[in-house]
Chain A
Amino acid sequence: MDKETRDMLLETAGRFFTERCDRAVVNNVEKGEWPADLWKEIEEMGLPLIAVPEDKGGVGGTLADMLALLRLAGEHAVPVPLAETALANLLIAAAGGEPKPGPATLALGNLKLSGGRLTGKILRVPFAGVAERFVCVVDKTLVVVGKGAAKVEATPSHAGEPYGSVTFDNATAEFSGASAVSAERAFELAAVMRAMQMAGAADRVLATAVEYSKQRVQFGKPISTFQAIQHMLAELASCVAATIASAEAASRDADEGGLADGGAFSIAAAKSQCSDFAHRISAIAHQSMGAMGFTHEHVLHHYTRRLWVWRRDFGSESFWGEKIGAAYAKAGPDALWPSLSASRYPA
Chain B
Amino acid sequence: MSIPKLEFPPFHLPPEAEALRLEVRAFLKEAVPRIKTEDRFASWNTPSPEFSRELGKKGWIGITWPKQYGGSEKSFLERYVVTEELLGNGAPAGAHWVADRQSGPLLLRFGSQEQRDAILPRITAGECFFSIGMSEPDSGSDLASVRTRAEPVPGGFRVNGTKVWTSGAHRNHYCITLVRTSGQHGDRHKGLSQLLVDLKTPGVTIRPIINLAGRHDWNEVTFTDAFIPESCLIGNEGDGWLQVTSELAFERSGPERFMQNFYVLRELVRVLGRNPSGRAAAILGRLIARLWTLRQMSVAVAGMMQGGKSPAIEAALVKDLGTIYQQDLPEIARVISESDATTEDDMADFLDIAQYATMMAPSYTIQGGTTQVLRGIVARGLGLR
Q: Which residues of A contact B (CB under 8 A)?
A: 203-204, 206-208, 210-211, 213-214, 224-225, 227, 229-231, 233-235, 237-242, 244-246, 248-249, 251-253, 265-266, 268-270, 272-273, 276, 317-326, 328-330, 332-333, 336-338, 340-341, 343
Contact = CB atoms under 8 A, between A and B. Distances in A.
Contact of A322 (B265, B266, B281, B376): B281
A194 to B, nearest CB: 15
Given A225-B385, A248-B9, A328 B320 contact: no
Considering residues B269, B270, B381, B383, which has the most beta carbons from chain A within 10 angstroms of its beta carbon? B269
B157 to A, nearest CB: 37
B384 A213 contact: yes
A336 B269 contact: yes
A333 B267 contact: yes
Given A234-B375, A321-B289, A336-B269, A207 B6 contact: no
Contacts of A245: 8, 10, 293, 296-297, 300
B366 interface: no
B291 interface: yes
A231 B375 contact: yes
A272 to B, nearest CB: 4
B270 to A, nearest CB: 5
Contacts of A338: 25
B84 interface: yes
Contact of A326 (B2, B21, B281): B281
Contacts of B288: 269, 324-325, 328, 336, 340
A268 B274 CA distance: 20
B183 interface: no
15 contacts: A203-B5, A210-B3, A211-B1, A230-B376, A230-B384, A231-B375, A234-B378, A238-B378, A244-B6, A268-B285, A273-B290, A318-B286, A321-B281, A329-B284, A336-B266
B379 A234 contact: yes
> Interface on chain B toward A: helix, strand, loop, or mixed SS?
helix
A328 B296 CA distance: 19
B317 interface: yes
Contacts of B274: 329-330, 332
A322 B280 CA distance: 8
A320 B289 CA distance: 9
Contact of B379 (A231, A333, A341): A231
Contacts of B383: 210, 214
Nearest to B265: A336
Closest 4 pairs (CB-CB, A-B) = A325-B285, A325-B281, A324-B285, A321-B285
A207 B2 CA distance: 8
Contact of B282 (A235, A246, A273, A325): A325
Interface of B: 1-3, 5-10, 21, 25, 84, 88-89, 262, 265-267, 269-270, 272-276, 278, 280-286, 288-297, 300, 314, 317, 320-321, 372, 374-376, 378-379, 381-385
B282 A322 contact: yes
A241 B314 contact: yes
Contact of A248 (B10, B269, B283, B289): B10
B6 A240 contact: yes
B269 A270 contact: no
A248 B84 CA distance: 22
Contact of B296 (A230, A233, A249, A318): A249
Considering residues A249, A276, A319, which has the most beta carbons from chain B within 10 angstroms of its beta carbon? A249
Contact of A203 (B6, B21, B382): B6
A325 B277 CA distance: 10
Contacts of A272: 285-286, 289
Given A272-B289, A321-B286, A326-B281, A234 B269 contact: no
A302 to B, nearest CB: 15
Contacts of A318: 282, 286
Contacts of A234: 320, 374-376, 378-379, 382
